[in-house]
Chains A and B, each alone.
Chain A
Amino acid sequence: MAELAPWLEDSDGRPAFRIARCRSCGRRHGPARSACPWCGHSGIDPEVRSTGTVLAATTTLLPVPAGEGPFHRVVLVELDPDVVVAGRFEGGDELQVGAVVGIDAIPLGADEAAVLVHRFVPAGGGGAGA
């Protein structure tokens, strides 16, 4: 079984984004790093986010990794006011700015070397968990 990518972790049987909160300035960032990108402090507390809000979305013919084409949807998702990430989106045509989305995990790479990376899905729905 492929493992979760290092920026994800299992949260109650579902993949979630690993983010972090700085013990000095209190701001969050993600994917989690060893030091706060806002103030440089090395003391950070790990947190996870399993849902977010869509800020923007695009559809492309370009070969997005782990995509099954020919069209791919990529969304910009706010996990926290300070944490905005991008990822593929799969599921339904009703995607709108402001929609709440969840996360599932899909394999990226050849069978033996594949890792499970994030993909956004409608909140409460989607594919297999981690």
Chain B
Amino acid sequence: MREVEVVGVGMTPFARRPERPSAALAAAAVLEACGDAAVAWGDVQQVVVGAVGVPVSAASGVLAHLPPTGLPAVAVENASATGSSALAHAVALVAGGHADLVAAVGYGSLERLLLAPGGDGPPDPVHASGTDLPPVVFALLAQLRAQRHGDGPDATASVVVKNRRNAAANARAQRRSPVALEEVAGSPVIAEPIHALECCPMGDGGAAVLVAPRGSSPRGVPVLASESATDRWHPAGAFLPSPDTTAATAGRALQRAGLAPSDLDVVEVHDAFAVEELEYVEAIGLCPPGAAAAALAAGELDIGGRVAVSPSGGLLGRGHPGGATGLAQVVEVVEQLRGEAGERQHAGARHGLTHMIGAGGVCVVHVFGPPTREGDRT
């Protein structure tokens, strides 16, 4: 197996209602990633498209907005982890020697799926219970955490305040205004105890990541691990996401990368709901179980703290379209490791991790290392 690196990244701003068609946003992100990598679109040998909520022929839909080269393209779907899964497949193509320059691109919105859960299939217990409505699931998780760890309402609201502060410094974020604790607590209750501002926005946008064999670019950011898993309840009976799946997947990824959780400098997690960030930073091993709220309150998870969690603004601030989300996390981590994150730069960032889960459930984790030639860092 060959070692792999990220040679280019690109993304459009995320927005509730973008002005361009969704597939055109994906194509724009691909071209931006090519520019970032200093390669031509014609040099790209394969494309893996992660798409949700889009018409059939999701991969061809993106290529229709790009100069025709006839390259192979395929689409994958894995709920919220769709973009992350596209990257996992792109990495595998390069690692296996099937191609030397592969684009992972994500687009499409979860909105249509979330607003009409259940579908026309046979009845299933998850739909009948109401737990295919994500706020209901994570409200139950918040109640469990309050009992087990004593998390108060300020714990989840503080996640929102941190991530919105980070998003305010991110020109591509969907929610760019910072919020105060009181605003979070004063927003409408969606599912007790979850408030509206503790939920990520719906929207759309495109993101792309170009991968190549290690050593292809002086600015290449090594992919130290790419790990994916399904949990034991997949697909029915998954009333709650299993933190065990995140712990196991992240654990394998860190082991493969030869790192400990304490080695991580920047981390992007699936914070579609604020309570999730608390749960996953513990599952990844950044804090002991039950200690995330205290670490957050102490500023340990801030940019400039012990480890910057959701420096892009996370799903809560940057946004969570669906197809592009996991790749937008990679855009952030790559820019952080290159030292190119501007106002959001976490000083001295050398190792980063991205984490997404998808309903059902799936989990995808990638770990990244310092650029090939650190002397190029700004």
Chain A residues at the B interface, C-beta cutoff of 8 Å: 5-7, 29-31, 33, 37-38, 55-67, 72, 74, 76, 84-88, 97, 108-109, 115, 117-118
Binding-face segment, B55-63, B149-157, B231-239: B231-239
Q: In whole angstroms, how far apart are the Cα atoms of A38 and B126 in the complex?
A: 19
Inter-subunit contact A86/B130 (CB<8 Å): yes
CB within 8 Å for A118 and B143 given contacts A60-B136, A74-B136 = no
CB within 8 Å for A60 and B129 given contacts A38-B232, A76-B140, A86-B140 = no
Q: In whole angstroms, how far apart are the Cα atoms of A60 and B139 in the complex?
A: 9
A-B contact sample (14 more), CB < 8 A, given A58-B136, A64-B136, A84-B239: A38-B232, A56-B143, A58-B191, A59-B191, A60-B136, A60-B139, A62-B190, A85-B125, A85-B129, A85-B239, A86-B126, A108-B123, A115-B123, A117-B125
Q: List 12 A-B contacts (CB under 8 A).
A: A58-B191, A58-B193, A59-B192, A60-B139, A64-B133, A84-B240, A85-B125, A85-B129, A85-B239, A86-B131, A97-B147, A118-B125
CB within 8 Å for A60 and B130 given contacts A38-B232, A74-B136, A85-B125 = yes
Which residue in chain B gives the minimum CB-CB distance to A98? B147
Task: Please provide the chain B residues from 128 to 186 with a CB less than 8 Å away from any CB of chain A in the complex.
Answer: 128-131, 133, 135-136, 139-140, 143-144, 147
For B133, list chain A residues within 8 Å (CB): 60, 62-64
For B136, list chain A residues within 8 Å (CB): 58, 60, 62, 64, 74, 86
Inter-subunit contact A76/B240 (CB<8 Å): yes
Is B118 an interface residue when CB atoms closer than 8 A count as contact? Answer: yes
For A55, list chain B residues within 8 Å (CB): 144
Lowest 3 CB-CB distances: which A-B pairs, in order? A64-B130, A56-B143, A117-B128
Is B127 an interface residue when CB atoms closer than 8 A count as contact? Answer: yes
Q: In whole angstroms, how far apart are the Cα atoms of A30 and B139 in the complex?
A: 22
For A76, list chain B residues within 8 Å (CB): 140, 143-144, 239-240
Q: In whole angstroms, how far apart are the Cα atoms of A37 and B361 in the complex?
A: 13
Inter-subunit contact B130/A67 (CB<8 Å): yes
CB within 8 Å for A74 and B140 given contacts A37-B232, A59-B191, A109-B123 = yes
Q: In whole angstroms, how far apart are the Cα atoms of A32 and B293 in the complex?
A: 37
Q: In whole angstroms, how far apart are the Cα atoms of A118 and B127 in the complex?
A: 11
CB within 8 Å for A86 and B239 given contacts A58-B192, A62-B133, A65-B127 = yes
Inter-subunit contact B118/A5 (CB<8 Å): no
For B237, list chain A residues within 8 Å (CB): 29-31, 33, 37, 85
Task: Please provide the chain B residues from 49 to 71 with a CB less than 8 Å away from any CB of chain A in the complex.
Answer: none
CB within 8 Å for A62 and B125 given contacts A55-B144, A76-B240 = no
Which residue in chain A gives the minimum CB-CB distance to B127? A65
Q: Which of A37, A58, A61, A117 contacts B140 (CB 8 A)?
A: A58
Inter-subunit contact A87/B128 (CB<8 Å): yes
- Which of A58, A76, A118: most chain B CB closer than 10 A? A58
For A62, list chain B residues within 8 Å (CB): 130, 133, 135-136, 190-191
CB within 8 Å for A60 and B118 given contacts A5-B128, A66-B128 = no
Q: In whole angstroms, how far apart are the Cα atoms of A74 and B131 in the complex?
A: 8
Contact with A along B181-207 (1 / 0, CB 8 A): 000000001111110000000000000
Rounded to whole Å, the gap between the CB of B197 and the closest CB of chain A is: 16
Inter-subunit contact A56/B128 (CB<8 Å): no
Inter-subunit contact B191/A60 (CB<8 Å): yes
Q: In whole angstroms, how far apart are the Cα atoms of A33 and B130 in the complex?
A: 21
Q: In whole angstroms, how far apart are the Cα atoms of A103 and B28 in the complex?
A: 53
Inter-subunit contact B130/A72 (CB<8 Å): yes
- Which of B123, B125, B129, B191: most chain A CB closer than 10 A? B129
Q: In whole angstroms, how far apart are the Cα atoms of A72 and B191 in the complex?
A: 9
For B123, list chain A residues within 8 Å (CB): 5-6, 108-109, 115, 117
For B192, list chain A residues within 8 Å (CB): 58-60
Inter-subunit contact B130/A57 (CB<8 Å): no
For B194, list chain A residues within 8 Å (CB): 58
Inter-subunit contact A7/B144 (CB<8 Å): no
Rounded to whole Å, the gap between the CB of A130 and the closest CB of chain B is: 14
